[in-house]
Chains A and B, each alone.
Chain A
Amino acid sequence: MSSKLDAKIPEGQLETKWSQYKSSVPLVNPANKRSLHIIVVGSGLAGSAAAASLAEMGYKVKVFCFQDSPRRAHSIAAQGGINAAKNYQNDGDSVYRLFYDTIKGGDYRAREGNVYRLAEVSTSIIDQCVAQGVPFAREYGGLLSNRSFGGTQVQRTFYAAGQTGQQLLLGAYSALERQIGLGNVEMYSRHEMLDVVQIDGTTRGIIARDLVSGKLERHFGHAVLLCTGGYGNVFFLSTNAMGSNVTAAWKAHKKGAFFGNPCFTQIHPTCIPVSGDHQSKLTLMSESLRNDGRIWVPKAQNDTRKATDIPEEERDYYLERRYPAFGNLVPRDVASRAAKERCDAGYGVGTSKMAVYLDYASAIERYGKQQATKIGEHNADKKRITELGKEVVKEKYGNLFDMYAKITGENPYEVPMRIYPAVHYTMGGLWVDYNLMTTVPGLYALGEANFSDHGANRLGASALMQGLADGYFVIPYTIGAYLSTQIREKAIPTDHAAFVEAEQKVQATLDQLMNIKGTKPVDYFHKRLGKIMWDKCGMARSESGLKQAIADIRALREEFWKDVRIPGAQNELNPELEKAGRVADFIELGELMCVDALNRNESCGGHFREEFQTEEGEALRDDDNFKYVSAWEFKSTGNFELHKESLIYDRIKVSQRSYK
C-alpha cells in the first residue's frame, strides 16, 4: 500500500460501518454553513443531487456546467433503469445481495466498504425520487414496477420506460432549480472549468471560462466537487454526449489528484453499429432489451441470407449456449467479448459483418399469447398474436425501437436489430477515499468522475444509483469531516496571487492553442486518437499493441500541438477552441490509459489482455499480483508514477467469476 493512499474505510463490521460513520462524523453548525462556499462542477445526477442537498443544508453553493442548462447533462441519456435493493418483488434481494453482485460484477476490483454503502443507500434513492415526483413505471395496483438487468438473478431495476436517466435528472434538476430560486445556489451554465486553484496544497477554487464571452473567471470555494462524468470520448466514437470530456478531472490530476484504474473502460454490448466514416457518435440500445431480446448469429460463417430467412436450427444463440445460467443477461463485459469473438470468427451479420442480431420475434410471440389469454381471445391466430405482442413490446420499449428505426431506416418490429459493442462508461476516474475526497485536500470527485464502486466492470443500472448515492446521501455527510476543519477559514479574495497565477497559466494555454494556426481541424486529431485507442486499448489489449499505442499517441500529441487549426477568436463563443482544449487532454489521458493497461498483467472485467485468458476465452485474473487499485500520480507530461491500494476482502470470498 502506498503511503500516499489512505482509503479511510471506517473500522468495524461491514454492515455497520456507514451507520457508525454517520453518527460520529463531525458536524458543521448552521451559522458556519452559511459562510462555507462549495463549488460543484457538472450538473448531472451526482452534481445536481449534491448541489441541491448541500444548499438545502445551508452551504453556499456555485454550480458550473458547459451546457446551456443544467438539465442537459449526459445523465439524461441513461435509458434502462436504476438498481435498488428494495426487494419489492420478494425474489430474495437484499442489501447484501446487491453488494455481492456489484463486487462480483466488477470482477473483484472494487472496495467492499464503498460498495456496501452504495447498496445500503440505494433504497433511499428510490424513496427520494418518488417524493420529488419522478414518474417511475408502475403496476396496475399502483406500486412500483421492476425489471432485470445483466449480472443479477433478481428484479431490482426501477425504470421510467427507456428514459430513466431523463426522469431522475429532471428530479435532481428541479431540486437544484428550487435552490437557485431560493438564492442558495448560483448557477453558471455555458461555463467550463479549466483549472483548480490551490493555496498551500489545499483546494481553494477554480478558474472557469465563460463560453459565450470567452472571459476567464476566478471563483473561490472551501471545497470543490468534480461531478464531471466519464472520459469515454477519448475513443472519439462512444455513446457519450459530444461534449462529455475529461478536462476538469485531468486538470485536477495534473494538480496532484491521483487517477484510479484509468484503463477500466466499459464496452457496452448493445449499440447500433457504425454505419460509415461520417459517424459522430454511437447510440446505445438499452440493456433492458436483453430482458426479452435474444442475441444470435448464423451458425454458418459469412451467411448472407436475410435474418428472417435463416431457420431456427441454423441460428446460434451463443450467449444462451455459453452461459446457460445467465443467458442473454450476462454482464456487459462478457456479452461484448462474446459478440466480438463471433464477429472476428466470421459469423458477423450486416454489410460490415461487425454486428450480431438482437431478436424480438420470440418475445413478441410470448407476450402476444399472454395478452390474448388476458383479454379472453383464446382462439387468436398467429397474426393476431403477433399484433398483440407488438403492442406489449411497444409499451415496454417503444421509444428505443423508434430510435433504432430512425437511425437505421429498418423496422425492428419486423426484422431483428443489428447491434455491436461500443464504448459506454469508464469505471476508472479520480482516486477517492471513503469520503469521496481525492488525494488533494478539499477536492472531491463524485459519480462517474471517480473510480470507486464498480471495479473492473459496472453492472447495468448501477451508474444512476452511484451518481445519486454520491450526490444525495454520501457527500452531505462526508463533506462535514473536512469542512468542520475549515470553519475558521474566511473566503479568500480572488485577487490572491494563487488565483492570478492559475488564471495566467490557463490564458497561456489558450493563447498557445490559438497561435498554432495549423492545417487540420480538431476532429482530425480526435478521430485518430480514437482509432488508436479502439484498436489497441479497446475490447482486447496486448503488450505489443499497447506499446505501439503509447508511441503513436506521443507522436500524435506532437503533431496536434504543431498543426491543429482553430478558427475564430478567444473572446467569443468558439466551439472549436473548446474542443481543442478537451482533445489535448484526451491525448494525454489516452497515454495514461495505455500505460495502466500495460501495467496490469492480468485480465479482469472490461480489461482484457489477450495474453491472460482461460482456455474458454474468459478473463483470467491474477489476484496474487494485481488485487489492487492502480492510482497514478502525474509527474510531467507522459510521466506517471504508480501507487497501489491493496484491495482487502473480509466478507466476500474472491473466486473466478462464473455466469455459466
Chain B
Amino acid sequence: MSDHSHAQEHHGHDEHHHEQSFISKWVFSMDHKMIARQFLVTAIVMAFAAMIMSTLFRLQLAWPDEGFAITNWILGDKWAPEGIMTSEIYLGLVTIHGTILVFFVLTGGLSGTFANLLIPYQVGARDMASPFLNMLSYWFFLTGAILMLGSMYLPTGPAAPGWTIYPPLSALPEAMPGSGMGMTMWLISMSLFVVSALLAGLNYIITVLNLRTVGMTMLRLPLTVWALFVTAILGVLSFPVLLSAVLLLIFDRTIGTSFYLSDIYINGQPLEHMGGSPILFQHLFWFLGHPEVYIIILPALGIMSEVIAVNSRKPIFGYKAMIGSILVIALLSFIVWGHHMFVTGMNPFLGSVFVFTTVLIAIPSAVKAFNYITTLWRGSIQFTPAMMFCIGAVSTFITGGVTGIILADAALDINLHDNYFVVAHFHIVMGLSAILAMCGGVYHWFPKMYLRMMNKKLGYAHFWLTFIAAYGVFFPQHFLGLAGVPRRYYTNSSFPIFENLGSIEEMSTWFSILGAAAQFIFFFNFFYSMFRGDKAPKNPWGSNTLEWTVEAGHHHGNWGAKLPVVHRWAYDYSKPGSKGDFIPQTIPLAAGEKDGGEGYH
C-alpha cells in the first residue's frame, strides 16, 4: 500500500505543473471530479426530459378527453392532434420515462456522479484506477443518452413496449410501430449504456480495493464508499446478463433466430420462428433487473448514511450492521428476480422459493431504516437542505418498502401484479428514495463539486414542495391498484367501472404538476449557484471524511504533495472528551483512544 501511494504522490505532483488544454479539462477530461460533474449535468438534463414526459402522461390520465396546448406544443400535431396524445406516443412516453429514470438518471446519473466524486476523494486517492476508462465510461453514457432521447424524434416513434421491453412485443415491428426503428435505437442505446456501466464499475471496484490511502482500512471506509463499492460489484455481475439478453433480442429481430419467439401469428400471417420462449427473456432481464433496483437504492442509502450522520452530529448508528446489511441485501438481490414473474406460469414451488428470499430482504432493509432513525435520536440536528432530503428519503424508503412485503407474497401478487399498486410501490420505495437522496447528495457535495454554496432558502422550498408532491402523486395510486386499475393503460375510459376513480387520477396529476414546478426552483438554484453562489469554505458542514481536507480549487490529483493519512473511522462526531463536535479522519488517535471502526466494546 505505502509503495503505491508513494508512486501516486509523484504522479499527483507532476500533474500540478501540467497545464491542461480547454478540451482536456472541460470536454475529454480524465479528472474524476470533472467526470462526476459531467454525469450530474447529463443526468439533470435527462431527469428534466423524463419529468416533462411524466407530466404529459399524467395530464392524459386525469383528463383523457381534453386537449392541452402544452401537450400539442411539446409533442406536435403528429403525436398530439388537438392536444390529445395518441395511444402510441402515450406508451412511448411511459417507456422512455421509465428507461431514462431507471438507467440514465438513477443508475448512470446517481452512481456516475457520486462514485466518481466520492470514491477517490473518500478513500484518499489521486484519481480512479484508470482515468482513461473512466472518461470512456462517460462518453459511452452520453452517446447512449443522446440516442435514447433522439429516438423520440423518429417518424415511427420511440420504443413503446414498456421499459422492461418484453418480447414478442418488442421483437416484432408488426406488433406496434414503436417496435420498429424506435426499439432498434433503444437496444443500441442500452448496449452502450451497459458498456459504460461495466467500464465504470470495474474502475470503482479496483479503486476501492487498491488505491486506499495509508491507514484507510476497509472498516474505516465511509458508508458511501461501501455502498458504491458493493453497487459496482452488483453492476459488474448483472449488467452482462442484460447485454446478452439484448443481443439475443437483436438476433431475433434481425437474423431470424428464435430465442424468444414461437407459434406466432400476427398481422394476418404466421411467423417462421419456432421453439423459443418469451419467458427466457424475462429471466435474463430480471436477473439484471432485480439487482438493478439495488444498484439504484444502495448508493442512495450510502448518501443517506453520510448526510444523516454529519448533520445529526452523531456517529451513524451500527456502522458494522450497516455494512452487513449492504452485503446481505447485495447477496439476496441475486436470488429474488422471480418475484417479477409470479404470474408467468412458473413452477409453483419455484414461486414459493422466491417468496421466501424476497421477504427475507426486508430484514436488512428494516435494520437500515431503524439505524437511520436511531442516528437521529438524541442528535443535534442541523437542517441543511441535504439533511431534509435524506430524512425524506428514509420516510419514503419505509412507506414504499412495507408494501413490498405484500407484493413479495405470491398469493397476493396475483391480484396486484402489474396494476397501480405496483406503480405506487416502486415509485415510492425506489424512485422517490433514490431521487430524494440524490438531491440530498447534490446539496451536500455541491461545495466540493462547484466550490460554491447553493442557496439555503430555495433548497428548503424545493424540499418541502417536492416531498409533499411526491407523496401526493404516488400514495393515492395504491388505491387505484386496489380498485383493479392496470398500469400502462392509455385511458381508463373504456371501462365504466373505473369511471368514478377519476378524482384520484386528478389528485395524482395535480400533485405531479406541483412536483414538476418545484423542480424549476432546483434547476434555478443549481445553475445560478454554480456561477454566482457564495464561495465555499473548505469544510462547510463540519465533516470528518477526506474530501473536506482538500484545498479549494480543482486540480487533477486532489491533494498537494502528500496524500492524507487516515487514523480513525469516519464517524467520530460529538465524541466524549474531544474539543469540537467532529474529528476528521486524518487526526491521529489520542493515547488510549479506541477507533470506532474497530468497535467500542
Partners in one complex: no
